[in-house]
Amino acid sequence: MVKVLICDSVDAQAVDAMRAAGVEVDVRDTITLDELGQVIGEYDGIVVRSRTKVRAPLLQNPGNLKLIIRGGVGVDSIDVEVAESKGIKVINTPNASSNAVAELALGMMFSLARSLAWADATMKAGKWEKKKLEGVELAGKTLGIIGYGRIGRMLAEKARALGMTVVAYDPYIDSPDLISLDELLSVADYVSLHIPHTPETHNLLGAVQFAKMKPGARLINAARGGTVDEDALYAALTTGHLAGAALDVFTEEPPQSEALHKLIALPQVIATPHIGAATVEAQERIGGEIVKLVQEYLAA
């Protein structure tokens, strides 16, 4: 019998479906890396989300392991080359959460435009700050999308429906419809990132890039921590060059450093705890894709 270990939270219906298909499933969604290292070789496959990082040391003695499924868009939390060199197949579920992340980015744009988080906080504090809460509209503004894959294209469709102009840059796509990063930064009122964190995209936006952005522009990062230089972002916000930022991802998750806490505490920053895929619908789709991938593995 095929044995699969669920290392992070997965939709319960997906677990039931795998068991119904004859898979022996162990759910240990709070397992530590030390604990995982002790048992990983006992399983044919493991399922991880963003919490569990599968790095090279975990894969030194993989035993029976032949399959790693990453429930989500990226696989940057897994040392794919090491896994594949040991005959372990790595698969993700890129379609399942794309719409959820695109909707979050759009919601963050609305929140930045109208200072919704700050307005709510002042109301809860018993204040009536109406005169300080003049916002801006998204219609007529330019959205610059960095990373024009599934999520980027979904966000573009939603933004155009609101009357926004959309421009895009993608370091991995060669297309005449895309523009350079410098041009995007110079024209965008909102910049939204939708790229993986790789050596090539590490701190893709830093002090030099922020200086090229329009005064008063706003940044959204619902992609991956490490793609934005957070110290440089703090400086661009506190000098007033950028009007705001919405961040769902960070270099440390959860944030630990004093510098990150200072960034998050800024009133012009909206921060959320990596909830891009955290919708009921996305979790059901992710679970469904995981079941399908396990079934395909069994049929191979």
Out of 218, 224, 230, 285, the active site residue is: 224
Distance CA 121, CA 127 (A): 9
Q: Which of 9, 20, 1, 81 is nearest to 48 (CA)?
A: 9
User: Is residue 296 among the annotated active site residues?
Assistant: no
Out of 150, 153, 253, 284, the active site residue is: 253
User: Is residue 202 among the annotated active site residues?
Assistant: no
Instruction: Report whether 219 contacts 170 (CB < 8 A).
Output: no
Residue 254 preceded by cis peptide, ω within 30: yes
User: Is residue 137 among the annotated active site residues?
Assistant: no
Q: Is 299 left (phi over 0), alpha (psi -120 to 50) or beta?
A: alpha
What's the DSSP call for residue 214?
P
Out of 103, 274, 285, 289, the active site residue is: 274
- CA 59 vs CA 146, 204, 282: distances in Å: 33, 30, 29
CB neighbours of residue 213 within 10 Å:
22
Q: In what order do the strands lie in the sheet with 217-221?
A: 165-169, 142-146, 190-193, 217-221, 242-247, 269-271
Report the catalytic residues.
224, 253, 274
